[in-house]
Structure 1
Amino acid sequence: MNSRQQAILQMVIDKGQMSVAELAKITGVSEVTIRQDLNTLEKQSYLRRAHGYAVAPDSEDVETRMMTHYTLKRQLAEYAASLVNPYESVFIENGSSNALLARTLAEQKNVTIITVSSYIAHLLKETPCEVILLGGIYQKKSESMVGPLTRQFIQQVHFSKAFIGIDGWQPETGFTGRDMMRSDVVNAVLEKGSEAIVLTDSSKFGVVHPYTLGPAESFSRVITDSGLNARDRMYLENSGLNVNIV
């Protein structure tokens, strides 16, 4: 994917859909070139075409979400990786920021990565780090394992840190997820009592979803960006969480 195609994909993801004419005007190339770029991106499943428009695919797709605010998520991943020691065993949950963290760790340190994400496991197939992929029911959209078997596998492995993705947070609800099965996996991880770290961009704060991740005291740290407002940061810190702004 070249730099223009990356820019096109980012715009389509941010707006949901954009016309060929709009993309040609913004990028300064012909509509023929835009159509060629869109064909390339569609073949790689980054987006889909519809009647003269480029449309963002399902938001559950990990690779597509990784491209949204990629630079910021990479910075978050770099910071999170700095907290992990060589030869440590860590659990990395599903999600785009966590996928970048897994790749960063695999490139930098000799670690064991335990995950329920088949996407993360596949991402690390050419790296020297040890990867333990836990089994269960395969949730195809999220490329993640869920269900009672996954809960049992989590009970059988040990890790010192767990990096968790969230879908929402409000003072009244704490951390929340939008998917019941994946939220249950997170809660099984939290029951292990290891150091639980939320890794997320600030867009998730102020949003609420149906399923509780917690209780809040199960978490020890939040790694996010400067978009987190001062009031929410103070609330999190008063709740006993370390808040690291990248």
Structure 2
Amino acid sequence: MSEETSAEGDHRRASIMTALREGVRRVDDLALACGVSTMTIRRDLQVLERRNEIRRVRGGAVPVDAWTFDHRLGRSAAAKDAIAAKLLTLVPDKGGIGFDGSTTVHRLARRLKEQPTLDLTAVTTGFETFHELSRTPGCRAYATGGTADPHTGSLVGPLAEVTLRQFALHTCFLSATHLDGSVGSTEFTADEAAVKRVLAAVSERTVLAVDSSKLARRAVATCLSLDEVDVLVSDLDPGDDRLEPYRGLVEII
């Protein structure tokens, strides 16, 4: 496997994209933010440029259409596949489940067709996830109303929140922009965070799925504290040291 397609490379380039969205532009600053050499950053920027995810500028780079769903879906693919396999074991055979509009949780929706017998009602804030769920045998799919978040495309706002409050769910599956041991999960927008809080509030169990590139970092809007999360699912082995800040606070898978 080449460095370009390795899980480690995927995670590192996801971290670079996150830093770029947060306003970091220069190669030296990206190297500091990601904890790697400037030579590694330059190689990763070449990969991202070939994928049309960034545009090179003097001394650094800027993101290109960084928030489109298709671009996000292709990032950290190996990590998201590993997470989806774990999430599949947490899906009940029947009852109500909730999905946010993230690409990580979307991968779980794709895999639900692997379950032999389902009797599920599923509600989601994601257009693409709704389309996957609506084609899944044994699953009655609902999409919330609302307006599209300008950064993620997920449905947010009062209409989305009112729709979600009509459900009493067994489990909700959420992702996050970042996860920090002190403040919990965070999002790039307050609207996105608000909708995810409602999903958690109407669910008996909240499952948070984040790949390792999102750990130990913070975005601008606080969402869920760790005591509001029941299960943390990552692409890492549960014994990995990077999960130490969350150990004892949530179940780790």
Fold similarity call, TM over 0.5: yes
Letter in structure 1 aligned against 2:124: T
Whether contact under 8 Å (1:102, 1:113) holds in the other structure is no
Q: 1:32 — aligned with what?
A: none
Letter in structure 2 aligned against 1:174: G
Q: 1:186 — aligned with what?
A: 196
1:194-209 equivalences under 5 Å are 194-209=204-219
Whether contact under 8 Å (2:230, 2:251) holds in the other structure is yes
CA distance in 1, matches of 2:225, 2:180: 13
Which string of whole-angstrom CA distances, capped at 9 and with x for unpartnered residues, describes residues 45-92 of structure 1? x758899xxx96433222222212212211210110111122232101
CA distance in 2, matches of 1:170, 1:164: 15
Give the C-alpha shift of residue 238 in structure 1.
Answer: 2.4
Q: 2:24 — aligned with what?
A: none
1:1-246 equivalences under 5 Å are 14=13, 57-109=64-116, 110=118, 111-128=120-137, 129-139=139-149, 141-226=151-236, 230=240, 233-239=243-249, 241-244=250-253
Letter in structure 1 aligned against 2:196: V
**Mean alpha-carbon deviation: is it higher for 201-210 or for 141-150?**
141-150
CA distance in 2, matches of 1:79, 1:199: 9
Q: Flag structure 1 segments of 5+ consecutive residues without an equivalent.
A: 1-5, 24-37
Which string of whole-angstrom CA distances, capped at 9 and with x for unpartnered residues, describes residues 79-126 of structure 1? 101111222321011211100011111342523321010121133454
Letter in structure 1 aligned against 2:122: I
- Secondary structure in structure 1 of the residue aligned to 2:66: coil
CA distance in 2, matches of 1:118, 1:64: 15
- TM-score with structure 2 setting the length: 0.71
Whether contact under 8 Å (2:149, 2:191) holds in the other structure is no
Whether contact under 8 Å (1:146, 1:185) holds in the other structure is yes
Give the C-alpha shift of residue 192 in structure 1.
Answer: 2.1
- Secondary structure in structure 2 of the residue aligned to 1:71: helix
CA distance in 2, matches of 1:227, 1:220: 18
Larger gyration radius, structure 1 or structure 2 = 1
Q: 1:34 — aligned with what?
A: none
RMSD of the alignment, in Å?
3.4
Give the C-alpha shift of residue 229 in structure 1.
Answer: 8.3
CA distance in 2, matches of 1:237, 1:107: 31
Whether contact under 8 Å (1:77, 1:104) holds in the other structure is yes
In the comparison of the two structures, how many residue pairs are matched? 214
Residue 56 to residue 122, structure 1, CA distance change in 2 (3 Å): farther
- TM-score with structure 1 setting the length: 0.73
Give the C-alpha shift of residue 193 in structure 1.
Answer: 4.5
Give the C-alpha shift of residue 231 in structure 1.
Answer: 5.3
Letter in structure 2 aligned against 1:112: T
Q: Flag structure 2 segments of 5+ consecutive residues without an equivalent.
A: 18-40
CA distance in 1, matches of 2:190, 2:129: 21
CA distance in 1, matches of 2:94, 2:203: 20
Q: 1:31 — aligned with what?
A: none
Percent identity at matched positions? 19
Whether contact under 8 Å (1:80, 1:101) holds in the other structure is yes
